Amino acid sequence: MSRIGKAPITLPKGVEITISDKNLVTVKGPKGTLEQAVDPDLKVSQADGTLTLERPSDAKPHRAKHGLYRSLIANMVKGVSEGFVIEQELVGVGYRATTKGQQLTLALGFSHAVTIELPPQIKVAAAQEKGKNPIIRLESVDKQLIGQVAAKLRSLRKPEPYKGKGVRFVGEVVRRKAGKAAGK
């Protein structure tokens, strides 16, 4: 039995779940609403403030989907009740970030500024304090979407191993290499 799949999902106060007959799970909470279509083989049941997923057999496809859908639904419940936050910092001389509505403009050492239009489900804020690296703060109820946007921002200028310049997650450790001069 999948350890993740068999764990029940406890519903915090203010979170409502509706399961349609086509296995469409809708989670509604104080921060928003999310939907997820669940594989028709799996059975989703709700009782006493907990949600459980059951699989019909121990076949490999059923085992694979059991833990996956349980995690997706658990992330939806956490998202609509607490939300998800990702912070990224820009490390490098002259690297800046500015926001205007849902547009994020980044100066990352290219000859031009990079402008990204963010989805409406994501709230973005850019903070810059004197003597510190600029920080981009992303907030959303959808964990998949916020992770995808954060990965896209990081891919614009990945942290390089010699000086450590680039877009990195706050708290991320970049393995540094010794330069050419250290080899002699």
Residue 124's nearest CA partner among 90, 92, 148, 150 is 150
Q: pLDDT category, 2, cuts 50, 70, 90?
A: low
Q: pLDDT category, 183, cuts 50, 70, 90?
A: low
Condensed to tens digits (0 to 9), the pLDDT of residues 30-85 reads 999 999 999 999 999 888 889 998 999 988 889 889 989 999 999 999 999 999 99
In contact, 124 and 131? CB cutoff 8 Å: no
Residue 88, both tokens: 């990224």
Instruction: Look at phi and psi of residue 9 and say left if phi exceeds 0, alpha if psi is from -120 to 50, else beta.
Output: beta
Between CA 165 and CA 182 the distance in angstroms is 19
Edge-first strand order for the sheet with 24-29 is 16-19, 24-29, 32-37
0.85 cut: is pTM over it?
yes
Q: pLDDT category, 162, cuts 50, 70, 90?
A: very high
Residues of the chain with CATH 3.90.930.12: 3-81, 84-169
Domain made up of 3-81: CATH architecture: Alpha-Beta Complex (3.90)
CATH number assigned to the domain with residue range 84-169, chosen from the 4 options 3.90.930.12, 3.30.342.10, 1.10.10.10, 3.40.190.10: 3.90.930.12
In contact, 168 and 174? CB cutoff 8 Å: yes
